[in-house]
Structure 1
Amino acid sequence: MKQFVSFQQFRRQPTIVVDSTGLGAALTLAHWRGAATPELLRDDTSAGSVLRALHHPETPGMEATAVTANHFDIDGFVGVWALLNPQQALRHEHLLRLVATLGDFREINWHDPLADHALQLVCWLNAEEKARFYEPFGAPARRRREDEASAEKFAWFLPRFAELLTNPEVGRAAWEPEYARVKQGVAAIESTATIVRRYPDIGLTVVRTPEPLPYYALFSPSLGTDMVLSIYDGQRYEFEYKYTTWVDLASRPTLPRLPLDALAARLNPLEQTPRHWTFDSITDTGPLLRLSGKELSKPQRYADPDQRPIHASSITPEQLEEGVVAFFRTGYAGITPKRYWTWAEIKAAGADLAPGSSLLEKGQG
């Protein structure tokens, strides 16, 4: 039998580290870029690596009885729970994979027969986390370390999760509000009011829909791509790199993130409103490019688009889409998709796109 220990305790005994990295781990099961996950166990999600490990119990390090993670999120939680409850986890493997993918990448195939159950579990985890503890990325605002504070979340959720796997109705009061909001968003995405265009050569999905939506609905058409350009009525826009390019994705090759300051430098001369295009670093988990307003905190940026203000631009939707597509086609010219990019390789790939470079000027011409 395995038990959860806080991240500060993991060096006191042989410990499996999930969705995190740490020197001295008996075994690392994480999709973080450069993590020491064994080749055979690599997966798109950390929970997926755990489930692979359960199929290979002979893996060195699997004999360790302690399990930890340095933060609480849905993917990491599912991985930790699965190690502590291996037989149940393997019985529900497909559902757990859906939960981890939806929680981390915010994408799911709504035609999967278990998609609704996965959404209910994710919404339950989200709701109870916020109600009983604090929102994702909220520990610093409370002057707490995430690796310490998150242990309280694991202690509460670990003994309660199994019941929701077999009977989600017991958590309906918690999961229903977000579930209903997401399902309404899914209906909007699947309606004639929404137009989706995919540019597979650059890994971009463009979603043109009337109003901002929850991520679980907004990103559902983006399966297999790594960037989303959201175009809303009133010339309101957001561009985002998905989390799929922050981690080591195992299932398919990807293109490296390009610096968004270079794209902002292309858009700002076109912008006729008093606002300017702002951007996050490519090392952020989900970098946003959007028109400026009050600076968003990390919890606000992580929250759903329909929970934050999105400002109107003078650039038309057609101009914006054409400009974004042209920028990435120029930037990715000569770059071949691959698996397991290093951060050094990613930064080198975008070096020629720094504002003021000849490549950027060429793209603006």
Structure 2
Amino acid sequence: MQRTFIPFNQVKHQKAIIVDSLHPNGLVLSHWRGAPTPPELEGDTSADIVLNALRAANLNLNYEFVTTNHFDVDGFVGVWALLNPEMALTYESVLRQAALIGDFRELDLNKTGADHALKLVCWINAKEKELFYPPFGAGETEENEVIASLPKFHYFLREFARVLQQPETEQAVWGPEYRQVLQDYAQVQSSATVIKKYPAIGLVCVQTPEPVHYYALFSVTAGFDIVLAQYQGNRYELEYKYTTWVDIQSRPTLPRLLLAPLVTDLNNAETAAGLTWTAENITDTGPILRLAGNQLTRVERYANSTERPIYASGLAAHDFENKVVAYFNKAYTNILPAKNWTWEKIKTLNRNLFAQS
């Protein structure tokens, strides 16, 4: 059937398919924590779930309207696929990879459709910045994003099919970021970079000379949820991936833990004058532990590490890494990976775990 995209604030008056968000008035196809998505459609990204729904034989998709409460690559791909189901299934592998790259930043150029998907994501990124506002740039309230994102949907829903089918026509737009990603991807995959993995705590340590694009940095982090980036000159950032903000279904995960006790330990050991370690709360979409992190806006934190200053610590790389690993090893003792963590359970676990802190 022919479907129509409607603004999210209209869904309370009209049943719809709700993509990559939550609302009781319709069918929810979302990987958000606690989303009542039909279990037979499970997937890691919301676009995965939508594409699974399009392939499901006995699912009622007879909804005239489709909506979501924000604009990002994953949500957009899911909305677009519901409006263009036949073309979506033709380009299924590309769309799944685009959502994965856009949401989790896990680029793997060996995967079918990944190179094509990267061009599409870079095109969306470039046009979004040129014509509209960057991610998290609409203000702090959900209502701001609901309204401000509508022109983005109008533009990309109109133009996406053309670029999907003929990405070379927009090479001038996606080319600059695409080339940067490939260059940084090569750096991360080269002998200049040392990758250390700690599976028991879901941590990957990436030691590479200079900051790189997120799609390159996270290209070696599939299956892991915490990334410690270490750059020359004692520059470090520690980040919880978005994979622990949503309910992924391909594997169990460990719950997010408060970074505040680790911040305190690092500040007690830090010798760099005038700089302090900071980190966001566990409910942030992507908490980053970094020196002078509280000086950044959400827009700046969402941007690539190449676009923000990363200050030199007085702690040697091996000392910093040892502190991080020791913290998570101790904190995750007796906690097993699981699927479908709720925020209530995560917050309760943290209260109990750090009650004596």
TM-score, length of structure 2 as denominator length: 0.96
Name the structure 2 match of 1:185: 184
Please give the secondary structure, in 1, of the residue aligned with 2:315.
coil
Amino acid of the residue matched to residue 252 of structure 2? P
Task: Give 1:170 shift.
Answer: 1.1
Please give the secondary structure, in 2, of the residue aligned with 1:8.
helix
Name the structure 2 match of 1:40: 40
Name the structure 1 match of 2:317: 317
* Mapping for residues 21-60 of structure 1, pairs under 5 Å: 21-24=22-25, 26-56=26-56, 58-60=58-60
For 2:46 and 2:113, the matched residues in 1 are separated by 20
Name the structure 1 match of 2:21: 20
Task: Give 1:354 shift.
Answer: 3.3
* Mapping for residues 134-173 of structure 1, pairs under 5 Å: 134-140=133-139, 145-173=144-172
Please give the secondary structure, in 2, of the residue aligned with 1:172.
helix
Task: Give 1:184 shift.
Answer: 1.0
Please give the secondary structure, in 1, of the residue aligned with 2:178.
helix
In structure 2, stretches of 5+ residues that fail to align are none
Name the structure 1 match of 2:267: 268
Confirm whether residue 277 of structure 1 aligns to residue 277 of structure 2: yes
In structure 1, stretches of 5+ residues that fail to align are 358-365
For 1:297 and 1:251, the matched residues in 2 are separated by 32
Task: Give 1:143 shift.
Answer: 11
4+ runs of 1 displaced by more than 4 Å? 141-144
Task: Give 1:79 shift.
Answer: 0.1
1:331 touches 1:350 (CA, 8 Å); kept in 2? no
For 1:293 and 1:83, the matched residues in 2 are separated by 39
Alpha-carbon RMSD across the aligned residues, in angstroms, is 1.6
C-alpha distance after superposition, 1:22-79 (max 9, x if no partner): 121x20000000011111112100011100110125324x101100010000000000
Task: Give 1:320 shift.
Answer: 0.9
For 2:109 and 2:85, the matched residues in 1 are separated by 27
Confirm whether residue 195 of structure 1 aligns to residue 187 of structure 2: no
For 1:72 and 1:212, the matched residues in 2 are separated by 27
Name the structure 2 match of 1:90: 89
Task: Give 1:352 shift.
Answer: 4.5
Task: Give 1:215 shift.
Answer: 0.2
Task: Give 1:141 shift.
Answer: 7.7
Task: Give 1:292 shift.
Answer: 1.3
Amino acid of the residue matched to residue 349 of structure 1? L
For 2:255 and 2:317, the matched residues in 1 are separated by 25
Confirm whether residue 243 of structure 1 aligns to residue 237 of structure 2: no
For 1:261 and 1:332, the matched residues in 2 are separated by 15
2:94 touches 2:112 (CA, 8 Å); kept in 1? no
C-alpha distance after superposition, 1:242-265 (max 9, x if no partner): 000000111100000110101111
2:277 touches 2:293 (CA, 8 Å); kept in 1? no
2:278 touches 2:293 (CA, 8 Å); kept in 1? no
Please give the secondary structure, in 1, of the residue aligned with 2:12.
helix
Name the structure 1 match of 2:130: 131
Task: Give 1:305 shift.
Answer: 0.4
For 2:22 and 2:142, the matched residues in 1 are separated by 23
Name the structure 2 match of 1:71: 70
Name the structure 2 match of 1:290: 290
Confirm whether residue 223 of structure 1 aligns to residue 222 of structure 2: yes
Residues 1:287 and 1:167: Cα distance change in structure 2 (over 3 Å): same
For 1:184 and 1:349, the matched residues in 2 are separated by 41
1:262 touches 1:353 (CA, 8 Å); kept in 2? no
TM-score, length of structure 1 as denominator length: 0.94
1:264 touches 1:278 (CA, 8 Å); kept in 2? yes
Residues 1:355 and 1:209: Cα distance change in structure 2 (over 3 Å): farther
1:265 touches 1:355 (CA, 8 Å); kept in 2? no
For 1:353 and 1:314, the matched residues in 2 are separated by 29
For 1:10 and 1:165, the matched residues in 2 are separated by 29
For 1:337 and 1:293, the matched residues in 2 are separated by 29
Amino acid of the residue matched to residue 113 of structure 2? L
Please give the secondary structure, in 1, of the residue aligned with 2:212.
coil
For 1:198 and 1:143, the matched residues in 2 are separated by 36
Over the matched positions of the two proteins, sequence identity in percent amounts to: 51
Name the structure 2 match of 1:360: none
